[in-house]
Chains A and B, each alone.
Chain A
Amino acid sequence: DAGVIQSPRHEVTEMGQEVTLRCKPISGHNSLFWYRQTMMRGLELLIYFNNNVPIDDSGMPEDRFSAKMPNASFSTLKIQPSEPRDSAVYFCASRWTGTNTEAFFGQGTRLTVV
């Protein structure tokens, strides 16, 4: 398996533009997580899905952020409009919600908003 695949790996955009980050979880996994990593706040959980359904989005910073999981093999995290303070590395992770299973992380998307 290729692991969790995120695209793009790097994104530079201007303030006010819409940004869409993409994630393909590992086949067979039924939980998907979006994390954000910054120097100031470390790793923060933004939202997670079980069986394509959002379970907890309390970590989403504000209404500018939205996430979808239209099917078991694809998820998006959208920021509209983007702001410089959104600059961070965004990680997607997936796991199978069986006993004793861990989350597998993608390589991340480094977002820079100028």
Chain B
Amino acid sequence: AQSVTQPDIHITVSEGASLELRCNYSYGATPYLFWYVQSPGQGLQLLLKYFSGDTLVQGIKGFEAEFKRSQSSFNLRKPSVHWSDAAEYFCAVGADAGNMLTFGGGTRLMVKP
């Protein structure tokens, strides 16, 4: 069975600082990997996705993520955080097309001025 672990429940960073959110997955084959962001009272918005090819994936809002098969990780990064990035971030893993996603527990990001 597939699973996703986000080890950090809460992270606080200063505005302008760099950010890395961790994600580890368990899946028997090459996974489909996603990062979603959820602002308070809102649905989930896709930040980026990895299916194959280049292991460094660029997303919206200046985010990127790197797929490391040897570490079963798909960490999300941003070089300089903005106050508007404060939200909850979810990593997810999926099987092939048509199958459902399994989400991690989420990481709540707070940004200090």
Contacts and interface: CB of A to CB of B under 8 A. Distances in A.
A91 B90 contact: no
Given A91-B43, A102-B46, A105-B44, A43 B100 contact: no
A18 to B, nearest CB: 25
Given A91-B43, A91-B44, A107-B42, A101 B97 contact: yes
B98 A97 contact: yes
B106 interface: yes
B98 A50 contact: yes
Contacts, number: 45
Interface residues on B, range: 10 to 19
Interface residues of A, number: 24
B97 A99 contact: yes
Contacts of B25: none
Interface of B: 34, 36, 42-46, 49, 51, 90, 97-98, 100-106
